[in-house]
Chain A
Amino acid sequence: MSSLLATALPLFIEGPSEVSSVTNDANWFLEHAWIIPLLPAVSFVLILFFGKRMPKKGAEFGIAAVGLAFVLAILTGVSWIDHRDNFDGPLAESPSTHADDGHHDEGHHDDAEHSDEEALGVAVIGPDGSSSSDDLVLTVDAEGEEGGEHAYVAVQKSTQWFQSGGIEFNAGILVDGLSVMMLFVVTLISLLVHIYSTDYVGGDRRYTHYFAFLSLFTASMLFFVLSDNILQMIVGWELVGVCSFALIGHWWEEKPNSDAALKAFLTNRVGDVGLLVGMITLFFAAGGGQTFDTLAINNAINQGVVSHTALVVAAAALMAAVMSKSGQFVLHTWLPDAMAGPTPVSALIHAATMVVAGIFMVARLYPVFFEGMSIGGSSINLLSTVGAVTLVFAGLLAFVQTDIKKVLAYSTVSQLGYMAMALGVGAWTAAVFHLFTHAFFKANLFLGSGSVAHAVHSFDMKKSMGGMKKFMPRTYVTFIIGSIALAGLPPLAGFWSKDEILVGTGGWGLFGGTGGNGAYTFHLLMGMVGAALTAAYMTRCVYLTFHGEYRGNDHAHDDAHDPHSVADPAHAGDSHDPHESGPRILWPLYILSGFAILVGFLNLPKGFQLVPESLQLRFEHFIEPAGASYFPAIAHGTPSWSLAVVSTAIAVLGIGGAYWYYFVKVDGLAKATGQHLTELPNGLVTTNKLARTAHKVLVEKYYLDHLYTGVIAGFTKGPLARATYWVNQNIIDGTVDTVGETSVKIGRGLYDKVDQGVIDGFVNGSGKVSDATGQELRHINTGRVQNYAALLFAGAAVLAGAFIVLLAL
């Protein structure tokens, strides 16, 4: 800390032992949260080096590390709950930019204690704390209702990584409700996915590498959510991107898989440009060109000292990053293709963790968007609108998919749209809560779809599934729970979080359910439409997969998506009846189903008459940094029964419509004709021209892929490249060539005229003159001594004569 502050706050001169919030054993977990990402990182290295020699081929390292991380995450969460309500220790200074911070009192460092950790290349805080460490203080700016409560105090620990040009580059952790929540979600889902994978990819040729990358991915995501500065965020963000590339392309022998991996990576790179631009803008605009610290940046923005224009630029640039990483509309195309990877990977990366990195980033840097997008008090902004468009458009796409994982992928895109929309309308907690609940039920659905695909060796619902209820009753039950949670029927998790988002839009003017940060009526409408779509496509998905007749024996297997196609050739093409998966697949499903049922109760709405007030808004209380100096003052919408009833009714309507079509009409027709049907042979799409066109647009995914590969990439490869080539050949090369040719001409001229003529002329001329002179003079050289003597005397006589003449003068 700067000497200035040290004198102003004598409390801290005592040294690092005075670091606040280290008041009891429980808070050890908050201070040492950096161990949580370190564990999987170590496991990654161990698996790489020793995995192949272990009895379980490296899986045990991953499971042990993530399991331990999960335990630590729970303990950290418990500590956080205690810390949130009971912390009244000393507070560190609010982070601010120190221009004069050239001298840290390094005297408190004990390098010996650091050496072992630093040898791993990880900057960490030693047990003694660190000079620049700091828990953060929040100005207690209680909103009247929270007058009697403890202020929200985050825990930040950082150490200087290096210094350059007076700017400190720190590495550290920021533990508050948001990161603790993410730690729990990531470690839990990662652990379940690890266990699931031991069965699902068992016998795979790259089994060990698969687990190594799962570990690295988990470590990256944990590193990302604990970041306390934007630089570290960028690192974590790129790390999850690269792990996703490796895991999507796990079976790279087949071209579609490696293409999908490349597509995911490159599409994300497009947004990452925005990320870099946005973060640089923040560093200079809000960090004063001095600090990368997230909280310092947020504080500066909240104090209103940052120019609005800079924030608009930063928010817009960061939007590009959110759109690519969190699959928002126009940059979402990679996410459905990413289903080429193994199913557990989809569950981990494309449902629960990586794709929410963008959402997390917005939540973490919320003041940037709140100010930059003018969320408070406006009725439309870029973030909320992109989210709203995404949730509807992706929902529509889910209807035309035949691949069960693609349905879930589009569903994920749609739910991410909900989260983005919620953040865009100022419903911060609703977005984070939806992130939380969605992680459980979407991971559940993905793992469930993997369980089914494991049995039928294909992901194609129309060709290889149907009637699976009979073969896989347990998977069926968990899948149904996940679907209901996703569709948003009470009392499961999805209902509560989605309803909160709808409340947060503040667009519900009926029966007093208003409030929020502005009248986002359009977004409320889109949310409602999205709810109906979600319910309907999930019903379709459940019917095609689990109901009707089993269609897997109708034809030879199409093994394109067979989870075992590379791993286990023995399975290829056999057509025994499918059977229920083993316990390592089922238990994660049970656990996630349990969560999908229960987690919604963590955040019962305020004023909910059926439960005591002590049970309401628990999630918001512990997670939302209300009144914190690094968080904008957002307003909360008021929940209303009418909205809940209407949104439930809409979901039921969606389910009902799909039920009527599939379970009644299609199923009835199939039974009557004895055929295996997946749709009505004479439905709207076949009879109505408009519907056919719309269907075609959906099947072609709004032609976005054509736009990207055909138009943009094609234009770049074709006309643009040719034009560039022409310019290069004719203008740039023309100039170069002209210069070259002119030089050659000048050179030739010089050679011919100057070198050959003048200079060589001199040389040759002098030679010729010498030669000629010599020819003449050789006549003197008679060889007779007397001639020489005569010349000598003649010369002497001449000289003598001249001498006499001169003397006479």
Chain B
Amino acid sequence: MLLNQFLLLAAALFCIGVYGVLVRKNGMLVLMSIELILNSVNINLVAFGALTDDVGGEVFALFTIAVAAAEVGVGLAIVLLMYRNRRSIDLSEADLMKG
């Protein structure tokens, strides 16, 4: 069944994305990993949309892409400010909120 391959792809992408988010220290790479997660979800949405013959899936995916764009804009702005303040974008050093 074609759906399974899509879902497996999405799951693989998701896992890669999560791995990237959790272990990368570079802020840019974390942002990119987040994009991977979002895109894996998009794949899922489109796949289910195709399965159920419903256009809602593609519409939802487009929404996610738009939101991701906005999100990545904000994320990049934060990373840029980090860089300006600390001359580094290493996330492991940004632990001001340590309890």
Contact = CB atoms under 8 A, between A and B. Distances in A.
Interface string A780-798: 1111111001100100000
A781 B98 contact: yes
Interface stretch (B15-23, B39-47, B53-61, B66-74): B15-23
Contacts of B23: 786
A779 B95 CA distance: 13
A432 to B, nearest CB: 112
B58 to A, nearest CB: 25
Q: Which of A779, A781, A786 has the most CB of B within 10 A?
A: A786
Contacts of A789: 21-22
Contact of B22 (A782, A783, A786): A786
A164 B23 CA distance: 100
B99 A781 contact: yes
B21 A782 contact: no
B66 to A, nearest CB: 23
Interface string B58-99: 000000000000000000000000000000000110111111
B30 interface: yes
B99 A784 contact: no
A778 interface: yes
Contact of A793 (B18, B92, B97, B99): B18
Given A784-B91, A785-B94, A786-B30, A778 B99 contact: yes
A785 B79 CA distance: 13
Interface in A614-634: none
Contacts of B97: 781, 783
B22 to A, nearest CB: 5
Contacts of B99: 777-783
Nearest to B27: A785
Interface range on chain B: under 10, 10 to 19, 20 to 34, or 35 or more?
A: 10 to 19
Interface in B18-36: 18, 21-23, 30
Nearest to A786: B22
Interface residues of A, number: 13
Contact of A786 (B91, B96, B98): B91
B98 A783 contact: yes
A427 B91 CA distance: 130
Contact of B96 (A778, A780, A783, A790): A783
A782 B92 CA distance: 10
B46 to A, nearest CB: 21
B79 to A, nearest CB: 12
Q: Which of A777, A781, A782, A785 has the most CB of B within 10 A?
A: A785
A783 B98 CA distance: 4
A271 B21 CA distance: 110
A789 B91 CA distance: 12
A784 B94 contact: yes
Contact of B92 (A778, A781, A784, A790): A784
A783 B93 CA distance: 9
Nearest to A774: B99
A779 B94 CA distance: 16
Interface in A716-734: none
B7 to A, nearest CB: 14
Contacts of A777: 99
Contact of A783 (B18, B21, B30, B94): B94
Interface of B: 18, 21-23, 30, 91-92, 94-99
Interface of A: 777-786, 789-790, 793
Shortest Cβ-Cβ A-B pairs, 7 listed: A781-B99, A783-B95, A783-B98, A778-B99, A783-B97, A790-B22, A784-B95
7 contacts: A779-B99, A783-B96, A783-B99, A786-B22, A786-B23, A786-B92, A793-B22
